[in-house]
Amino acid sequence: MKHLLIYIGLFCAILQLRGQERVVSRIIPPAGYVRESCADNSFTGYLRNLPLLPKGSKVMLYNGKEKSNQSAAYAVVDMEIGNRDLQQCADAVMRLRAEYLWGQKRYGTIKFNFTNGFPAEYKKWAEGSRIKVNGNQVLWYASGKGTDYSYKTFRNYLDMVFMYAGTASLSKELQTVAYTSLQPGDVFIKGGSPGHAVIVIDVAVHPVTKKKVFLLAQSYMPAQQIHILINPVSRSLSPWYELTETDSGKLYTPEWIFEKKDLKRFK
């Protein structure tokens, strides 16, 4: 019986470790490259430690069906996306940024604009106000609810944001940065309809050559699990992308082609 209990304990420990596999532990930089140092409480640290589903997991849609193009994904982030067609490309970027800020209790900095420019502030939502949308008219109203900074209320707030914000609004909120200055948390984004957005998850540097490589993640349409992208141009480097020395040109991702000048950063 004693040996059986030890075996069960080890088995449970292994399962727990598997469940905790993260970007930083599974996706190793190319030979000679090392991850840039960062603070544990930084946005970079948060993104590197995103939990991943087991290897071989399919990218699932909000309705429980499989994404039709599974070849775009290298790994799938272990994060629920709800059961409505809401968390698409720009929404996934906003989700990751908001999750990080919420975890840091930086509630006052969680704010996203709707497509019409209306500022949806999480702090107002958490303190009991709600948003009413009537056509292009949007306003706050008192819901009668008390202050609630719980995760459930936070997710309800995000669903409201996902309904009325997108690439067009998010691209206006972010500041343009040079491609060669790329860092984790930056976003390649093309606003509009159609538009798309992918987020830089990690960066590694070669200490001798100073060359850099980076990882990208996305959601897409219809709403689907966030996934780390393969590199469709260099299978030998995939899922890493090489940061070139020029700001001009294109960035080829599995399901979208960006201009390098489309790189932006949260203010």
**What is the per-residue pLDDT for 3?**
42
Model confidence over 209-258: pLDDT tens digits? 999 999 999 999 999 999 999 999 999 999 999 999 989 999 999 999 99
State the pLDDT confidence band at 4, using cuts at 50, 70 and 90. Answer: very low
- The model's pTM is 0.92
**What is the per-residue pLDDT for 193?**
84
Whether the pLDDT of residue 7 is over 50: the answer is: no
**CA 78 to the chain's CA centroid:** 11
Find out whether the peptide bond into 119 is cis, omega within 30 degrees of 0.
no
Whether the pLDDT of residue 20 is over 80: the answer is: no
State the pLDDT confidence band at 14, using cuts at 50, 70 and 90. Answer: very low
**DSSP, residue by residue, the chain:** -HHHHHHHHHHHHHHHHHHT-BHHHHSPPPTT-EEPP--TTSHHHHHHT-BBPPTTPPPBBTTSPBPS-GGGEEEEB-----SSTT--HHHHHHHHHHHHHHHTT-GGG-EEE-TTS-EEEHHHHHTTEEEEEETTEEEEEE-S------HHHHHHHHHHHHHH--HHHHHHHSEE--GGG--TT-EEEE-SSS-EEEEEEEEEE-TTT--EEEEEEE--SS-B--EEEP-SS-TTTTT-EEE-S-S-SEEEETTEEEEGGGEEE--
Model confidence over 154-184: pLDDT tens digits? 999 999 999 999 999 999 999 999 999 999 9
What's the CA angle centered on 59, arms 259 and 24, to 5 degrees?
70
**What is the per-residue pLDDT for 105?**
98
How many whole angstroms separate alpha carbon 88 and alpha carbon 112? Answer: 15
State the pLDDT confidence band at 19, using cuts at 50, 70 and 90. Answer: low
**DSSP, residue by residue, 151-197:** HHHHHHHHHHHHHH--HHHHHHHSEE--GGG--TT-EEEE-SSS-EE
**What is the per-residue pLDDT for 1?**
38
pLDDT mean over 81-85: 98
Tell me what the pLDDT averaged over the chain comes to: 93
**What is the per-residue pLDDT for 32?**
97
